Amino acid sequence: MKKNILAEIITVGDELLYGQVIDTNSAWMGEELGKIGIRIKQITSISDQREAICEALSAAIERADVVLMTGGLGPTKDDLTKHTLAEYFKTELQLHQPSLDDVEAIFKRYNRPMLEVNRQQAFLPATCTPIRNVLGTAPGMLFQEQDTLICSMPGVPFEMKRMMTDTVLPLLQSHFQLPKIVHKVVQTIGIGESFLAEAIADWENNLPPNLKLAYLPHLAGVRLRLTGVPTAEENLEPLMQAQIEQLSLLIQPYIFAYGEVTLEEAIGQLLKKQNLTIATAESCTGGLVAHKLTSVPGSSAYFMGSVVAYSNDVKTAQLGVKSETLAQHGAVSEETVKQMAEGVRTLLKTDIGVATSGIAGPDGGTPEKPVGTIWIAYSDAHQTLARKINYNKTRLLNIEYTTLQVLNLIRQSLPPTVDQ
């Protein structure tokens, strides 16, 4: 049994080279392969050209145990991957009846006439093992050369992902007899990577040798991923669960979820569980907090609405912010943002109101309140509180960062649930 399985990814398509399409497939495949313990050596993007495909493929086969290719399997003339692979592996195209049945079924479902070019998609290299595509008309293909597996998949992201999940990843796990690696994810927000590392250093240093921790930072927090490799003696699941519980005690205030959950999903679950409703009053975030909350399916159960109050008139007339407050403290102030949060809660009759007011830039800053000066507030029946943020990157990053901070403020300020 070989220890370190190496993979390479080859993405085919002129659109990738000329920047019309950003290659997101490789990152997704890299992460999924990493999860089953396969290391990526190289990612190569090349043109839809016979020589380019052959050259990249032959170099990758030399270096890697697995080569995953995407792209170039469409029905049009510029899609050359399938013909090139047949030539490379010295074989002929032949009709693969189950693939033809699948293609015909797709056209029947959409009630569209099937053209000869679509029928051609069911012709596959004779020596390949076809991989079923349940979401599109281009089947995948699996080849083997010496000890290397080569797998060609469509470039359409959702077709490729389904094929990987259903067929390719399980196949790689069994072919290479990979250990059944287990991952546990802890989602944090509000603490930087280096502070987090310091807070959990002792715990991390004392991890058993078969458990490893990865720090995956993003705009306002860090995803922690604990990866366990099974050993003969131990049952991995309880071992990892115990470690996660120890970790949780160290950084409890920063954890918003376990597993692959977004912050807005986590908040939605908390609000649903406590049967609470929410509304937002947004100035500088311009509706992005509302958009995030409503991007969660079923959010209409707790999200009632929002007032985006860009002008001071809307702040006073709709949200009831006092003119004296605006005159004395300005729109970007603790006093104003608190009145906005209270105002929207009253106006839309919700349990919770949150608010934002700040200078997102690039213009509008003053010496006392430079660009990046932002106030956020939370209000419920028991309390109204505000927090100041200083953050000045680009206008869009300032807005996105503030939105994450508001979501985090909701999470931190909600009354505790009974079962926590």
Applying CB under 8 A, among 3, 4, 19, 202 the residue interacting with its own copies is: 19
Task: Choose between 28 and 176: whose C-beta lies nearer to its own copies.
Answer: 28
Task: Choose between 133 and 403: whose C-beta lies nearer to its own copies.
Answer: 403
Which span sits near its own copies by CB under 8 A: 14-22, 144-152, 180-188, 240-248? 14-22
* Site for its own copies contains 293 (CB under 8 A): yes
* Site for its own copies contains 138 (CB under 8 A): no
* Site for its own copies contains 273 (CB under 8 A): no
- Sites for its own copies among residues 359-398 (CB under 8 A): 361-364, 395-396
**Whole-angstrom distance, CA of residue 214 vs CA of residue 212:** 7
DSSP 273-288: HHT--EEEEESTTTTH
Least Cβ distance, residue 51 to its own copies (angstroms): 10
* Site for its own copies contains 304 (CB under 8 A): yes
3-state secondary structure of 84: helix
User: Virtual CA dihedral for 112, 126, 161, 45, nearest 10 degrees?
Assistant: -110
**Whole-angstrom distance, CA of residue 128 vs CA of residue 416:** 57
Least Cβ distance, residue 392 to its own copies (angstroms): 12
* Site for its own copies contains 303 (CB under 8 A): yes
**Whole-angstrom distance, CA of residue 77 vs CA of residue 92:** 18
Establish how many alpha carbons lie within 13 A of residue 351's alpha carbon, considering only the half-sphere containing its beta carbon: 13
Applying CB under 8 A, among 129, 318, 346, 412 the residue interacting with its own copies is: 318
Applying CB under 8 A, among 117, 237, 310, 390 the residue interacting with its own copies is: 310
Which span sits near its own copies by CB under 8 A: 16-24, 78-86, 135-143, 147-155? 16-24
**Whole-angstrom distance, CA of residue 88 vs CA of residue 84:** 6
Within 8 A by CB and 6+ apart from 18, the residues are none
E strands, 128-277, are 129-131, 140-145, 148-153, 182-189, 211-218, 221-228, 255-258
Write down the residue that tokens 């406590």 correspond to: 274
Alpha helical stretches, state H, 68-167: 81-88, 97-109, 116-120, 157-163
Beta carbons of 266 and 273 less than 8 angstroms apart? no
* Site for its own copies contains 247 (CB under 8 A): no
Q: How many CB atoms lie within 10 A of CB 305?
A: 15
Which span sits near its own copies by CB under 8 A: 41-49, 100-108, 205-213, 335-343? 41-49
Applying CB under 8 A, among 230, 305, 330, 415 the residue interacting with its own copies is: 305
For residue 89, the Cα-to-chain-centroid distance in whole angstroms is 37
Least Cβ distance, residue 39 to its own copies (angstroms): 8
Task: Choose between 29 and 189: whose C-beta lies nearer to its own copies.
Answer: 29
Write down the residue that tokens 């990493």 correspond to: 34
Least Cβ distance, residue 277 to its own copies (angstroms): 8
Which span sits near its own copies by CB under 8 A: 22-30, 139-147, 187-195, 410-418? 22-30
**Whole-angstrom distance, CA of residue 84 vs CA of residue 51:** 9
Least Cβ distance, residue 63 to its own copies (angstroms): 9
* Site for its own copies contains 313 (CB under 8 A): yes
112: its two tokens: 């569209």
Task: Choose between 287 and 320: whose C-beta lies nearer to its own copies.
Answer: 287
* Site for its own copies contains 346 (CB under 8 A): no
Applying CB under 8 A, among 27, 95, 117, 242 the residue interacting with its own copies is: 27
- Contacts of the segment 358-363: beta carbons below 8 A, 24+ positions apart: 358/283, 358/284, 358/332, 358/389, 358/398, 358/402, 359/284, 359/332, 360/284, 360/395, 360/398, 360/399, 360/402, 361/392, 361/394, 361/395, 361/398, 362/395
Which span sits near its own copies by CB under 8 A: 85-93, 101-109, 179-187, 342-350? 342-350
Which span sits near its own copies by CB under 8 A: 199-207, 230-238, 243-251, 298-306? 298-306
* Site for its own copies contains 30 (CB under 8 A): yes
* Site for its own copies contains 79 (CB under 8 A): no
Establish how many alpha carbons lie within 13 A of residue 34's alpha carbon, considering only the half-sphere containing its beta carbon: 14
Binding positions for its own copies, rule: CB under 8 A:
16-24, 26-32, 34, 39-47, 52, 56, 59, 216, 280, 282, 285-291, 293-295, 297-300, 303-311, 313-314, 318, 347-349, 361-364, 395-396, 399
